[in-house]
Amino acid sequence: MVYPVIRCVQEIPCDPCVGSCPKNLITMKDSILSLPEYTEGCLGCSSCVMLCPGLAITLVFNNYDPNKEKALVMMPFEFVNETVPLGCEVTTTDLEGNVVGKGKVVAVKTKESVDKRRLLLVEVPEKDKLLVAGFHIRDIYHGEPLTEDMQDEEDPIICRCERVRKSEIVREIRMGVRDMNQLKAVARPSMGGCGGKTCTDIILKIFKEEGVPMEEITLPTNRPLVAEIHLGDFVKKK
Amino acid sequence: MNNYDAIIIGAGSVGTPTAHFLSQKGLKVLVLEMRAASGQGDNKAAIGGVRATHSDPGKIQTCIESLKIFSTWEEEYGFDMGWKPGGYCFPVYEEKTEEVLKGLLPTQKNYGLKIDWINKHKVAEIVPGINTENLRGGTYSPEDGQVSTLLAPIGFQREAQKNGAVFQFNEKVIKYELKNNKLTSVITDKKKYSAGVVILANGADAAEHGPLLGMDIPVVPDTHEAGISAPVKQFLAPLIVDLRSGPEGKTTNFYFGQNREGQIIFCYTPKELFIGTDRESQSEFMPIIANRMISLIPRLQNLLIRRVWRGCYPMTPDGVPIIDFAPEIDGLFLAVGMCGQGFMLWPGAGKNIASLIVDKKPIISEEANNFFRYDRDFYAAKKEALK
């Protein structure tokens, strides 16, 4: 037995699911703004999973495991093909993104008329089949805890991109640095992606605190704001 | 008090180590720099590779000296110049390149360079992710490395200052005074100075001083473009040089490495040179270098590109620097025409000229030193195999 789990909570004018079902099993009571409802008799054709713009429908295959220990859940997937975790064990999540358990991606389904969406068949424990609404394409990495105090009031961070502290800038000013381009070279403030959009003014204040007259300071090269893009984006795609 | 033993014109990759080595020998040194600080000219456009992997004996021996200085600087003076060991690797895909590089090995080894041919598996091991299709192997010189071009001039300057060297910034040389072919004084837009010896080390601007001195300084700058990525986890130890011409018809070779910050820093040699000092970036640079880098190491497509820039190569007619006393003018030493290699040559060359000026003898062999003479034939058919 197969059936869709429809997690639609959007009372908006949207009804592709209604038209997608060849047996007209998905209906809306009052208007196009209503939430869809399902009546028994699903063929398991997966059209609704393929079409729902909100990726709100999964399909549960109950007859997957004769021992009834496992079930198969079909989920839509809209990342690039290279990231399809076929054969991998993935962490499954519920509608809110909370971790449910583990699943194994056993098959991928595509449809010629559909451009990017893939349907992934994920084997999950029987008890999880109604909860599972998604999965992590890779395990969440929380990073290493910082070893130093980032909120040090005594010695605050001036350049956040490169994590340069005030003391490092003061040290260079006291060494005689007056050209802010050289300050960038030696202590790295403004060397990050933003190009000194915030720290330049703060550094000028530090020069002032150190008693350096403005006319002794050479301002840094002023560059427009840029967004970093991938090297691959410069190459013509085949 | 405007009298010095030596005046160095230019505080870049040439002037700052020269100031260090001369002041270390007890000379009273003045450095005149028209920019606001040291290291603010074309040296900071260099990507920072330091290799003794050359074909010219003068360059091999000088860069071996440079490498000794860079690799031990922090230990010796406590200032971090961003030294990253890891060598240079020239991966080879074409038979003719293999022949050329293998042919150079005996000379290179003879002059003291540690280098060998390695097979394709070894190349793939030290250059993770390299395209191995048609890869034949390559050369690997493990004692080459890289240094931050941003930090090195500051390190040399500060050490020179400890030895009493004086640095004057925002001061431009406008005139030289000569008496009976002897250079007697240097006049800037602020002051007049005199010195026993004046060392011209002003990179791309060297030729402009020719008319002021009344001599020909055969240096013509052309420009090369470079770029840098956001940092990624360290994965690439050596600098890579791919000697193939690009299929796009614009590049004769390209090279890149991962610096100590984890950033990938890259550059190519254009087929048609851009003569002059225009440092504006060009729109064709990134698409061309991106194609070349990704075809060599596909995973590089994921790098985020942060910045591009252009810098000058002060070129001599034969591609070899001029490091010599000027023959016509007494008291003038030429340290010009670094041909894009000033950064890697100069610690060694600076030590060498301090010895030439003070002890009247080079620290590298006379034979190697002769490659840098001013009175050579710049237009002889001699061609360097490895620029």
pLDDT tens across B246-265, in order? 999 999 999 999 999 999 99
Query: Which phi and psi angles does A108 have, rounded to 5°?
Result: -125, 135
Output B242 or A116, whichever has higher pLDDT: B242
Within A21-144, residue ranges assigned H as helices are: 47-51
For residue A224, what pLDDT is reported? 81
Percent of chain A with pLDDT over 90: 77
Answer for the pair A105, A98: CB distance below 8 angstroms, yes or no: no
Answer for the pair B219, B316: CB distance below 8 angstroms, yes or no: yes
Domains annotated on chain A, with CATH: 2-135 (no CATH), 151-238 (1.10.10)
Decide if A182 and B169 are in contact by the 8 Å CB cutoff: no
A117: left (phi over 0), alpha (psi -120 to 50) or beta: beta
Give the Cα separation of A41 and B48 in Å (integer).
Answer: 69
Cα A173 to chain center, whole Å?
41
Is pLDDT of B381 > 60? no
Which of A132-141, B233-242, B354-363 shows the lowest mean pLDDT across its residues? A132-141
A134: distance to nearest CA of chain B, Å?
Answer: 26
Domains annotated on chain B, with CATH: 3-51+150-218+318-372 (3.50.50.60), 85-143+221-315 (3.30.9.10)
Tell me the three state secondary structure of residue A54. coil
For residue B184, what pLDDT is reported? 93
Give the CA distances from residue A11 to residues A35, B64, B326, B355, in Å, rounded to whole numbers and listed in that order: 6, 74, 86, 84
For residue B215, what pLDDT is reported? 93
Tokens representing residue B159 in the block = 């050490």
Give the Cα separation of B10 and B33 in Å (integer).
Answer: 5
- Those of residues 197-226 in A touching chain B at CB distance below 8 A are 218, 226
ipTM: 0.91
B109: distance to nearest CA of chain A, Å?
Answer: 36
| pTM given for the model | 0.78
Which of B38, B154, B303 lies closest to A231 in CB terms? B303
For residue B300, what pLDDT is reported? 96
pLDDT tens across A162-199, in order? 999 999 999 999 999 999 999 999 999 999 888 898 89
Give the Cα separation of A63 and B116 in Å (integer).
Answer: 64
Answer for the pair B277, B204: CB distance below 8 angstroms, yes or no: yes
For residue A238, what pLDDT is reported? 61
Round the average pLDDT of chain A to a whole number and report it: 91
Q: Which residues of A touch B154 (CB under 8 A)?
A: 182, 185-186
pLDDT tens across A202-223, in order? 999 999 999 999 999 999 988 8
Among B60, B65, B142, B130, which Cα is nearest to B92's? B130
- Those of residues 151-180 in A touching chain B at CB distance below 8 A are 175, 177-179
Percent of chain A with pLDDT over 70: 97
Interface test with B, best of A219, A231, A235 (most B CBs within 10 A): A231
Tokens representing residue B323 in the block = 């490091």
pLDDT confidence band for A149 (50 / 70 / 90): low
pLDDT tens across A12-45, in order? 999 999 999 999 999 999 999 999 999 999 999 9
Give the CA distances from residue B19 to residues A6, A103, B4, B38, B319, in Å, rounded to whole numbers and listed in that order: 76, 67, 12, 12, 25
For residue A140, what pLDDT is reported? 74
Answer for the pair B327, B251: CB distance below 8 angstroms, yes or no: no
Neighbours of B105 (CB within 10 A): 14
Output B149 or A112, whichever has higher pLDDT: B149
- Those of residues 19-78 in A touching chain B at CB distance below 8 A are none
Decide if A186 and B36 are in contact by the 8 Å CB cutoff: no
pLDDT confidence band for B1 (50 / 70 / 90): low
Is pLDDT of A226 > 90? no
For residue B382, what pLDDT is reported? 60
Answer for the pair B304, A230: CB distance below 8 angstroms, yes or no: yes
For residue A5, what pLDDT is reported? 96
Give the Cα separation of B254 and B236 in Å (integer).
Answer: 16
Among A179, A158, A177, which Cα is nearest to A167's? A158
Which of B131-135, B171-175, B279-283 shows the lowest mean pLDDT across its residues? B279-283
Number of helices and strands in chain A (H, E): 5, 12
For residue A81, what pLDDT is reported? 78
pLDDT confidence band for A66 (50 / 70 / 90): very high
Give the CA distances from residue B103 to residues B69, B86, B123, in Å, rounded to whole numbers and listed in that order: 29, 23, 19
Which of A179, A195, A235 lies closest to B294 in CB terms? A235
Percent of chain B with pLDDT over 90: 91
Decide if B39 and A185 are in contact by the 8 Å CB cutoff: yes
| Largest separation between any pair of C-alpha atoms in chain B | 66
Is pLDDT of A148 > 80? no
List of residues 6+ apart from B20 with CB closer than 8 A: B156, B157, B159, B160, B163, B165, B350
Tokens representing residue B271 in the block = 């087929």
For residue B183, what pLDDT is reported? 96
pLDDT tens across B31-73, in order? 999 999 999 999 999 999 999 999 989 999 999 999 999 999 9
Among A193, A201, A196, A171, which Cα is nearest to A181's? A196
